[in-house]
Chains A and B, each alone.
Chain A
Amino acid sequence: MFRPLILAMATAVVATAAQAEDVKIGMLQGFTGPTESLVKPMALGGELAMQEVSDSGLFLGGRKVVSIRGDSTCVDAAAATAAAERLVTSENVVGINGATCSGATTAVLNNVVRANGVVMISPSATSPALSTIDDGGYFFRTAPSDARQGEIIAKILDRRGIKSAALTYTNNDYGKGLADAIQAAYEKAGGKITAVAAHEDGKADYSAEVGALSAAGGDVLIVAGYLDQGGKGIIRASLDSGAFDKFILPDGMVGESLTDNFGTEIDGSIGTNPGTDSPGAGMLAELASAKDFKGDDPYVPEGYDASALLLLAMQSANSTDSAVYKDHIEKVANAPGEKIFPGELAKGLKILSEGGDIDYVGGSAVELIGPGESAGNFRETEVRNGKFETVKYH
């Protein structure tokens, strides 16, 4: 009974020893919990970039890159911290692609990243609070702050002549931050938020929440939640009771499972999520489809870009030491230099190793501003015939 197990363990130890020269990158994402359906392609996107760099044979003199996965969950800060601790202290990762949600990211940043001095790039933590947090220069994000998304949503509502809206948000850092940003920007643009109500995820019935929101009225309902969780329940209850039939869906709500669920019932609803019409997005989508996942799903380009930036910065600094390569991240992400798109990482590595300069564009047209976060490109979508269709880019 035990012998095969011991044998397997021994092999595992030998295998790890043989790969000691590999560069390990932590893939710290919310594999379980509210974001599980969002994260699957994100992690694959991040690992695609690692694979590409690894296969090029040009990375730091031909070193391989391996991804070590850790589950940050989304809502459990303690679990996220423990997973990050494991990645950093026992797996010895030299950089982290993660975490997924803002709350988990903040916890990891405060407890693990700063304490151990490891660079972390989040592809999807969008809380405005992360812009001002003291990160010691170790934290970056390829996703824009929600403050930016709030402005975009206000602009869309204004352009479409929607004068009043009710607002509900998932009761966590992400939801609250986004809701505040939307409310502030929308009211500044002259709109009226009739009611703001938080909802808890993981309940079966949201008719009470919807009842309260509907009493306040409004042309549309803004649902700053998660498509697999309370956000879905809120929409279900709204449609069932006839309270609202048009919804504004920020990034956490944009995904296929939502349209699979509601189909044409939510036609006319508007979604926003990070996205760009730069050629990079299409190139990534092609790369991803060869690996059987969707490269244009929410945050997949950001996931790819987070890995790519980590590795390119290491190449630029010629070091895997976080304290050294952290100063190279903005250098490889921004102009001047040769533009690098998805699938061209080998070219980027080559230029860097020859002492040249690159401007990484990637799948999300990433441009790092201020405290090391993406300036953000947003895609406005509208549900037509039960499918999200791109309207325009902001």
Chain B
Amino acid sequence: MELLNALALFANFVVVPATAYGAQLALGALGVTLIFGVLRFANFSHGELMSFGTMVTILATWFLQGQGIGIAPLPTALLALPVGIAVTVLMALATDRFVFRFYRRKRASPIVFAIVSVGVMFFLAGLIRIVIGPDDQSFADGARFIITAREFRELTGLKEGIALKQTQMFTLVIAVAVVAALFWFLQNTRAGKAMRAYSDNEDLALLSGINPERVVMIAWIITATLATVAGTLYGLDKTYKPFIFLQILLPIFAATIVGGIGQPVGAILGGFVVAYSEVMVTYAYKKLLAYLGPEGWAPEGLVQLLSTDYKFAVSFIILVVVLLIRPTGIVRGKVL
């Protein structure tokens, strides 16, 4: 019984939140890694692209809610997601057409691209604040929980409950579906193979008749889609606030680099490594140890490795450790 309680406690405060967070980071990191694989630069505007996609999805959600259209008990945002994706794809293609293409033709170095992407990031951040403002927006509707902690406790008779939110479930299901579709696309379709060829050797790909602009376009379409899905899931699960997409960029980059930059499998692994580290390092194990230890005993302190204030520092620490020990990241080899 005590062991089950400990497991439930651990699941509720570590496994469930970290898994959902990991899936969100993985989707974000996939977008960063894809742009790196194809266009060879670190895209700092990815966080704001996520924010932009979420914003459009929210606007579409509000419109649908206003019309009384919904898919209760599922969140309306899922219905609005295609609109968000479409507009974000257009935005990504527009920034490529008007900003990145210019530097690509000049064959600018990756560092120039990275700085340009910072400029795009600020532009998008400003645009988002003009359109929707800097405030918090809650747009999650439908049933919030699949099972609440209290229901779980009553159902099982345990002292600890596991709360499972609908959004956490969605995050996982959609993330798995999107990732599977992406891998199938890269491995099995002509466009996917062309993209991998282009990423592997640009000149050789050109000689074999691959149209580089088309490859770039597809890369942006996929990236914008991933960004919108990741941002919307993050917003549904937590809350939408433009400011946080600047902060979430750090764990996303950490995930990308930990996994091996340019490696889709690595991005997913990296996302979960970063998420689990953040949550596990800052979790206080007092209650868990009390369940596992002898009857009636509890540790004096909170048994917490790092105070939650330092949550973001965890990403930095992982980054530094990976760069020192295994600079290539978890997954080595050719990108994409």
Q: Which residues does A use to contact B, with CB under 8 Å?
A: 171, 195, 197-200, 202-205, 207-209, 211-212, 214-217, 228, 232-233, 236, 240-243, 261
Q: Does B103 make an interface contact (CB < 8 A)?
A: no
Cα A197 to Cα B286 in complex, Å, equals 15
A contact residues around B21 at 8 Å (CB): 205
Known: A205-B238, A208-B308, A214-B13. Contact between A242 and B149, CB under 8 A? yes
B298 nearest in chain A by CB position: A217
Known: A171-B309, A197-B308, A241-B163. Contact between A215 and B287, CB under 8 A? yes
Q: Give the Cβ gap from B273 to chain A, nearest Cβ, in Å.
A: 16
Q: Does B279 make an interface contact (CB < 8 A)?
A: yes
Q: Does B244 make an interface contact (CB < 8 A)?
A: yes
A contact residues around B304 at 8 Å (CB): 212, 215
Q: Give the Cβ gap from B53 to chain A, nearest Cβ, in Å.
A: 16
Q: Give the Cβ gap from A256 to chain B, nearest Cβ, in Å.
A: 15
Residues of chain B from 256 to 307 with CB closer than 8 A to chain A in the complex: 278-279, 282-288, 302-304, 307
Contact present for B136 and A209 (CB under 8 Å):
no
Contact present for A215 and B149 (CB under 8 Å):
no
B contact residues around A205 at 8 Å (CB): 17, 21, 238
Contact present for B239 and A233 (CB under 8 Å):
yes
Cα A205 to Cα B25 in complex, Å, equals 13
Pick from A202, A212, A233, A243 the residue with the most CB of B within 10 Å: A212
Contact present for A197 and B307 (CB under 8 Å):
yes
A contact residues around B163 at 8 Å (CB): 240-242
Q: Which of A198, A202, A209, A211 contacts B244 (CB 8 A)?
A: A202
B contact residues around A217 at 8 Å (CB): 287
Q: Does B104 make an interface contact (CB < 8 A)?
A: no
Q: Which residues does B use to contact A, with CB under 8 Å?
A: 12-14, 17, 21, 135-136, 138, 144, 148-150, 152-153, 161, 163, 165, 234, 238-239, 241, 243-244, 247-248, 278-279, 282-288, 302-304, 307-309, 311
Contact present for B279 and A208 (CB under 8 Å):
yes
Q: Which of B17, B244, B284, B307 contacts A203 (CB 8 A)?
A: B244
B contact residues around A199 at 8 Å (CB): 308
Q: Which of A195, A198, A242 contacts B302 (CB 8 A)?
A: A195
Task: List 28 A-B residue pairs with CB atoms under 8 Å apart, sorted by A's residue number.
Answer: A195-B302, A198-B309, A200-B309, A202-B241, A204-B248, A207-B279, A208-B282, A211-B13, A211-B14, A211-B282, A212-B284, A212-B307, A214-B13, A215-B284, A215-B286, A215-B288, A215-B303, A216-B287, A216-B302, A233-B238, A233-B239, A241-B163, A242-B148, A242-B150, A242-B152, A242-B153, A242-B161, A243-B13
A contact residues around B149 at 8 Å (CB): 241-243
Cα A202 to Cα B136 in complex, Å, equals 9
Cα A22 to Cα B122 in complex, Å, equals 43
A36 nearest in chain B by CB position: B135
9 A-B pairs closest in CB distance: A242-B149, A215-B284, A212-B284, A211-B13, A204-B238, A204-B244, A215-B287, A215-B286, A207-B17
Contact present for B308 and A212 (CB under 8 Å):
yes
Cα A11 to Cα B279 in complex, Å, equals 60
B contact residues around A261 at 8 Å (CB): 138
Please name 18 further chain A to chain B contacts, defined as beta carbons within 8 Å, in addition to the given A212-B284, A214-B13, sorted by A numbering. A203-B247, A204-B239, A204-B244, A204-B247, A205-B17, A205-B238, A208-B279, A211-B17, A212-B308, A214-B287, A216-B284, A228-B135, A236-B239, A240-B144, A241-B12, A241-B149, A241-B163, A242-B161
Contact present for A216 and B150 (CB under 8 Å):
no
Cα A200 to Cα B309 in complex, Å, equals 7
Q: Give the Cβ gap from B18 to chain A, nearest Cβ, in Å.
A: 9
A197 nearest in chain B by CB position: B308
Pick from B248, B303, B309 the residue with the most CB of A within 10 Å: B309
Q: Give the Cβ gap from A266 to chain B, nearest Cβ, in Å.
A: 14
A contact residues around B279 at 8 Å (CB): 207-208, 211
B contact residues around A232 at 8 Å (CB): 136
Q: Give the Cβ gap from A254 to chain B, nearest Cβ, in Å.
A: 18
B contact residues around A204 at 8 Å (CB): 234, 238-239, 241, 244, 247-248
A contact residues around B308 at 8 Å (CB): 197, 199, 208-209, 212
Pick from A197, A202, A204, A216 the residue with the most CB of B within 10 Å: A204
B contact residues around A195 at 8 Å (CB): 284, 302
A contact residues around B287 at 8 Å (CB): 214-217
Contact present for B286 and A216 (CB under 8 Å):
yes
Contact present for B13 and A241 (CB under 8 Å):
yes
Contact present for A212 and B283 (CB under 8 Å):
yes
Cα A198 to Cα B311 in complex, Å, equals 12
B contact residues around A216 at 8 Å (CB): 284, 286-287, 302
Q: Give the Cβ gap from A240 to chain B, nearest Cβ, in Å.
A: 6
Cα A340 to Cα B237 in complex, Å, equals 52
Q: Give the Cβ gap from B151 to chain A, nearest Cβ, in Å.
A: 9
Cα A215 to Cα B285 in complex, Å, equals 7
B164 nearest in chain A by CB position: A240
Pick from A200, A207, A232, A241 the residue with the most CB of B within 10 Å: A207
Cα A123 to Cα B241 in complex, Å, equals 29
Q: Give the Cβ gap from A2 to chain B, nearest Cβ, in Å.
A: 24
Contact present for A212 and B282 (CB under 8 Å):
yes
Q: Give the Cβ gap from A137 to chain B, nearest Cβ, in Å.
A: 38
Q: Give the Cβ gap from A285 to chain B, nearest Cβ, in Å.
A: 27
B contact residues around A233 at 8 Å (CB): 238-239
Pick from A171, A214, A215 the residue with the most CB of B within 10 Å: A215
B148 nearest in chain A by CB position: A242
Cα A233 to Cα B248 in complex, Å, equals 16
Cα A8 to Cα B261 in complex, Å, equals 56
Q: Give the Cβ gap from B236 to chain A, nearest Cβ, in Å.
A: 11
B279 nearest in chain A by CB position: A208
Q: Give the Cβ gap from B94 to chain A, nearest Cβ, in Å.
A: 27
Cα A261 to Cα B309 in complex, Å, equals 26
Q: Give the Cβ gap from B272 to chain A, nearest Cβ, in Å.
A: 16
Cα A238 to Cα B284 in complex, Å, equals 15
A202 nearest in chain B by CB position: B243
Known: A195-B302, A215-B285, A215-B286. Contact between A208 and B311, CB under 8 A? yes
Contact present for B150 and A215 (CB under 8 Å):
no
Q: Give the Cβ gap from A171 to chain B, nearest Cβ, in Å.
A: 7
B21 nearest in chain A by CB position: A205
